[in-house]
Amino acid sequence: MSNQKSWLKPVTLKGNKVTLEPLLHSHKLALLAAVQDGVLNKLWYTSVPDQNTIDDYIEKALNTQNEAKSLPFVVRLNSSQKIVGCTRFCNVDNSNQRLEIGYTWYASSVQKTGVNTEAKFLLLQHAFENLQAIAVEFRTHWLNHNSRNAILRLGAKQDGVLRNHKRLEDGSYRDTVVYSIINLEWSAISNHLLACLSKHSENQYSI
């Protein structure tokens, strides 16, 4: 256990569509079932666990939580109680009250259904209204256009691009695009996301 004082505490965040619950080892089988809903583990530009990596994935997530660097969640669909994905507060700067939302993935069947929109709203609301964050970052691969467009639709602004930021498992280098929302923008972005969530057809405007 780290001696660092964590600014984040485990919390459950509940919305209309989804509930975000702190990640536990006991979520392993449900996460594997969610991964098998689609071809998520074949996406080369993102990291999604599979049968061979799930134990290490959960262990690393919980270790970074113990080190006060992250707070990982599973995403549970309220209507069926099925776990349909993961997301995380990560790269936490406890001193400056900054953090990133990342490590997000969803089962294919719930993509473009409003699940991600509400999950992001719950995380941002908690960060700005309860934790008093000064900024929330989002980072993604330069070539992950779906993710980049989704982040922009949230209302985040692009800060810059970190060239050759990471070496991926296949030996290629990742250019990382960095976006952020700051605390002074949250009121307007909150209204924007609530409007998105209230639309009758989430399929036509889901983030």
Sequence-distant (6+) residues with CB within 8 A of 69 are: 90, 91, 92
Summarize pLDDT for 2-29 with one digit per residue, the tens.
Answer: 445 678 999 999 999 999 999 999 999 9
Give the model's pLDDT for residue 201. 45
pTM greater than 0.75: yes
How much of the chain exceeds pLDDT 90, in percent? 77
Summarize pLDDT for 98-113 with one digit per residue, the tens.
Answer: 999 999 999 989 988 8
Summarize pLDDT for 158-176 with one digit per residue, the tens.
Answer: 999 999 999 988 889 999 9
Is 149 a domain residue?
Answer: yes
Domain extent for 72: 13-200
Q: Which tokens in the block code for residue 77?
A: 């669909």
Total domains present in the chain: 1
Q: How far is CA 196 from CA 11, 18, 87, 115, 141, in A?
A: 25, 15, 20, 12, 25
Here the CATH number for the domain that contains residue 180 is 3.40.630.30
CA 154 to CA 87: how far, in whole Å? 16
Give the model's pLDDT for residue 202. 45
